[in-house]
Chain A
Amino acid sequence: MSIATTSPRLFSRAWSALLLVILAFLIIYPTGMLLLGALTDANPVIDGFANMQLSLGNFATVLANPTVHAALGNSLLACTGGTLLAVVIGLFFAWIVVRTDTPMRGFIAATGMLPLFVPPLVAGVAWAILGSPKTGLLNTVLASMGIGFRFNLYSLSGIIFVFGMYYAPYVYMFTASALRNMDPSLEEAAEISGASAFRTMFTITFPLILPAIVSGMLLSFIVMLGIYGVPATLGAPANIPVLTTYIFQLTSWSPPRYGTAASVAMILMVVTGALVVIQQKVLSGRSYVTVAGKAFRPRTLRLGPWRWFTFALAVIYLFVVVLLPTAALLIGAFRKFLFIRNLEALFDAKQYSWLHFDRLFSNPATIDSIVNTMEVGVATALIGGVLAFAVGYTVARTQAPWRRAIDVIATVPVAIPGLVIGVAYLWAWIGLPGGFYGTIWILALAFVARFLPDTVKVLTSSLMQIHRELEEAAWLCGRGTLSTIATITLPLARPGVIAAMTLLFVLSIRELGSSLFLYSSQTMVMAVHLLGYYEGGNFSVTAAFSLVQMVLLAVLIGLTNLATRSSAPSDAVGSVGRAG
């Protein structure tokens, strides 16, 4: 009897301890080192702990530095502006898709999600091609039409525009589902009470979905704050520093200012963390959505002829975020010279060729970067998938000790922008023996840590769909825990596991922020290589490489959808946009 009760307990303690050690190694150790780095001038792992002198000197320097002020100000401005734009667009789309009889709503809803899949760096490249002040395609078109106005995407408003356009689908996802789940009689009651449609919208509908609006807003803000690709492509030419680009700049000076970079990264992390906490509060707090287990038929507003107006707005949005950038990349990639004198020259077939693709693939680094990216992707998917399953199962399905702590630690990376994880891993591993630094494994482990919250979320939601009694039945048949997981849980959760692993693969292909700090000449990945081409000033090859990346991503996402038609795709979609 005593053996039977103590040994499982011992086992589950050992299991929890193992998970905690792994998570500490992946998440707490690098973050702690980042903090130490911010507090010292030297790296204790390299220089020895004896030489370490704790001081707030770095923070004092950083806080007194006008460039940091400018970067922080620009970051907040860009993210606030981008978020507001995203809310206006996202809320409007949620409303027309869920609540009106606008033609082709389903198509609008599906296509409207596409921007989420576009890596921010690629979006930035496309809009640089379209809207650079001198040679931008849009400006060429304007000039040949004799219009004096010029777009300038190399500006803060350019960054805001791209942020707002590409992150509107976030706000859309949150608000559309809130609108769909709302009891329509709440609005009918207002109308019967004498309120106009307009008044009903502002006194009943919007206040009721406010939690969804706020959490969509905060999430977009958090994501934008950590993005490197867009400010690097659109902000850098005009010398507009934001926190992420400034952190990278600090580490590329010689000698690199790691201590300063670490303290700026800490500032970024604190701001993000605070926002994540607020978002969780909003989500768990007053949720008005009446979940009565009842399917409501959402009210559709008959817009009459106005429905063509809303349709036109939707088409304009899709044109701007999907068609224009794609066209820009295609033109950029296939035209021999990107300089276009006038509109006629744009349609001159002789100007188009595979030249840039030839140049792209004749560079051996390109193939290397693709191979490296695939290797990192597979490693991330396998390690991350197994770890996330272990964490998700332990937290959601067992009584193992310390599972609350495991849950909290696994969620921490939500609040750490990719770039900060990159700095932290760099700092934590650069001096450790074993030669991790400079291999693809450090990239893979950083990605595993960075995307652990998203992977666990996807896996947990598919685990939750498996009724506990299915497992209990297996126990009663005489199976142990591991055998039950292998024969019952895993087969049933397979779509979720596949979805989570593919998600990890896709995310790690797109990831730029953390890769920037962790690649070496041997382990260059696609995103970094692409940025290199852009910064080298070669727009045409950059465009060609962007297209290659987009096609790869499209194929992967298409395959995922085929493989996991039934399992929590919305979670996966939501997570794809988080990377950058």
Chain B
Amino acid sequence: MSAELAIRDLEKVFSTGKPAVDGVSFTIAKGEIVVLLGPSGCGKTTTLRCVAGLEHPTAGEISLDGDLVSAPAKGILTPPRARNIGMVFQSYAVWPHMTVRQNVTYPLRTRGMTRAAMTAAVAEALDLVDLAAYADRPVTQLSGGQMQRVALARSMVYAPRLLLLDEPLSNLDAQLRLRLRDDLRRIIKRTGLTALYVTHDQQEAVVLGDRIGVMQDGKLRQMATPADLYNRPADQFVAEFTGAASMLPCRLVRREGEFGSVEMADGRRVEAWMPGAPAIGAAMVLAIRPENALLGAAGGPNCFTARVTSLRYQGTQTIYELDALGGRIEALELGTAARHAEGAEVSLTLPPALTWAYASLP
């Protein structure tokens, strides 16, 4: 049932002129969950709506299991109703003039099913989202979380080829969001549906996605597994967006494959991982996540002295702001007691695999 989604060179230009989606290409395997992550206005929702057929792309191709559904160059534009896609909207979009059962039955009515088959499919879908007991309630009597599950059941009841989810949890309160986040992955995986999920919440992306695509300004910056995204950010934007708080200017002095040495503003050299093939002498930026900057000498390369300029105590963790390598570096330590005071001299170790250098943006 579920299909492979392939997007090639997708482009969507609104009348304002600036492309909202600019040459995005990726493929989602059967049964895989891919999350598009990015700040608001990055084009992730427009991409999703192009796949749904609710927006008309201006260039590129979208295909489901090889069937072209959007290909403006060839004049192909399958309307949403003929794509056999399920979608969960940010506002739930459950129909307030219907009961839970009527909402979930609605998509089946145009699919030429027998009454018995419809009843069975609806019962199964409601079971899956744990709403069987609420089937005959008007949806307006449900809580936000329940409405979202009605929307989910409605989008899956006809076993669509692809499930699209547009920030489905953003209208829920924080606690409910955490619970539903885990439920969502479990439910989608159990049905084996291919899913494309859009969010601006990194935690949600990491928990839900088999792979995550980071978008910025209409471009797909990186698409990788959650672990790769966090350990091998492809560029400075991705590193910064996923949480690398410290950015220091530096210059490349030596490179061997993926690793190399950069010279910092204070003349010290740091071993770092670097994507692409920057030239020797190029201006670069060193990016470090606070979680990867270790306080204390671990024995090995990249061990420096630093001074604590200020600290932010956060209860279960402390963030130190350090004066080191001719700039400012943030380091995070877990624990309820802060180990260092303001002004203290400490050792700082930067593991080379988790210290990244990127060519400076022009």
- What A residues does B84 contact at CB under 8 A? 194
Q: Per-residue 0/1 for B248-280: is the Cβ within 8 Å of any A Cβ (1 yes, 0 no)?
A: 000000000000000000000000000000000
Interface of A is mostly: helix
Indicate if the CB atoms of B110 and A290 lie closer than 8 Å.
Answer: no
In Å, the complex CA distance between A186 and B91 comes to 9
Indicate if the CB atoms of B79 and A185 lie closer than 8 Å.
Answer: no
Indicate if the CB atoms of A185 and B90 lie closer than 8 Å.
Answer: yes
Indicate if the CB atoms of A186 and B93 lie closer than 8 Å.
Answer: yes
Q: Per-residue 0/1 for B5-30: is the Cβ within 8 Å of any A Cβ (1 yes, 0 no)?
A: 00000000000000000000000000
Indicate if the CB atoms of A192 and B80 lie closer than 8 Å.
Answer: yes
CB within 8 Å of A: which B74-91 residues = 79-87, 89-91
In Å, the complex CA distance between A189 and B88 comes to 8
Given A194-B158, A195-B110, residue A189 in contact with residue B81 (CB < 8 A): no
Q: Count the A residues whose beta carbon is within 8 Å of the partner chain — how many? A: 22
CB within 8 Å of B: which A387-429 residues = none
Given A188-B93, A288-B96, A288-B97, residue A196 in contact with residue B81 (CB < 8 A): yes
Given A188-B80, A199-B110, residue A208 in contact with residue B89 (CB < 8 A): no
In Å, the complex CA distance between A191 and B95 comes to 13
- What B residues does A207 contact at CB under 8 A? 97
Is there a chain B Cβ closer than 8 Å to A190's Cβ? yes
Indicate if the CB atoms of A189 and B154 lie closer than 8 Å.
Answer: yes
Q: Which residue of A lies closest to B49 (CB)?
A: A188
Indicate if the CB atoms of A183 and B91 lie closer than 8 Å.
Answer: yes
Given A192-B86, A195-B81, residue A185 in contact with residue B93 (CB < 8 A): yes
Complex partner residue of B79 from A191, A203, A210, A288, CB under 8 angstroms: A191
Indicate if the CB atoms of B91 and A192 lie closer than 8 Å.
Answer: no
Is there a chain A Cβ closer than 8 Å to B145's Cβ? no
CB within 8 Å of B: which A188-241 residues = 188-196, 199, 203-204, 207-208, 210
How distant is B184 from chain A, measured CB to nearest CB, in Å?
Answer: 18
- What B residues does A286 contact at CB under 8 A? 97
- What A residues does B155 contact at CB under 8 A? 192
- What A residues does B85 contact at CB under 8 A? 192
- What B residues does A186 contact at CB under 8 A? 93, 95
- What B residues does A188 contact at CB under 8 A? 52, 54, 80, 87, 89, 93
- What B residues does A203 contact at CB under 8 A? 106
Is there a chain A Cβ closer than 8 Å to B107's Cβ? yes
Q: Which residue of A lies closest to B164 (CB)?
A: A192
Q: Which residue of A lies closest to B111 (CB)?
A: A194
Complex partner residue of B96 from A185, A195, A290, A292, CB under 8 angstroms: A290
In Å, the complex CA distance between A199 and B109 comes to 11
Indicate if the CB atoms of A190 and B106 lie closer than 8 Å.
Answer: yes
Q: Per-residue 0/1 for A136-164: is the Cβ within 8 Å of any B Cβ (1 yes, 0 no)?
A: 00000000000000000000000000000
Q: Identify 18 new A-B residue pairs, CB closer than 8 A, beyond the known A188-B54, A193-B158.
A: A183-B93, A185-B89, A185-B90, A185-B91, A185-B93, A188-B52, A188-B87, A189-B89, A189-B93, A189-B94, A192-B81, A192-B87, A193-B107, A193-B154, A194-B82, A194-B107, A207-B97, A290-B91
19 A-B interface contacts by CB (under 8 A): A183-B93, A185-B89, A185-B91, A186-B93, A190-B106, A191-B54, A191-B80, A191-B81, A192-B81, A192-B83, A192-B85, A192-B87, A193-B106, A193-B158, A194-B82, A194-B107, A195-B110, A210-B97, A286-B97
Give me the interface of B with A, judged by CB distance under 8 Å.
Answer: 52-54, 79-87, 89-91, 93-97, 106-107, 110-111, 151, 154-155, 158
Give me the interface of A with B, judged by CB distance under 8 Å.
Answer: 183, 185-186, 188-196, 199, 203-204, 207-208, 210, 286, 288, 290, 292
What 3 A-B pairs are tightest by C-beta distance, nearest first? A193-B107, A185-B93, A185-B89
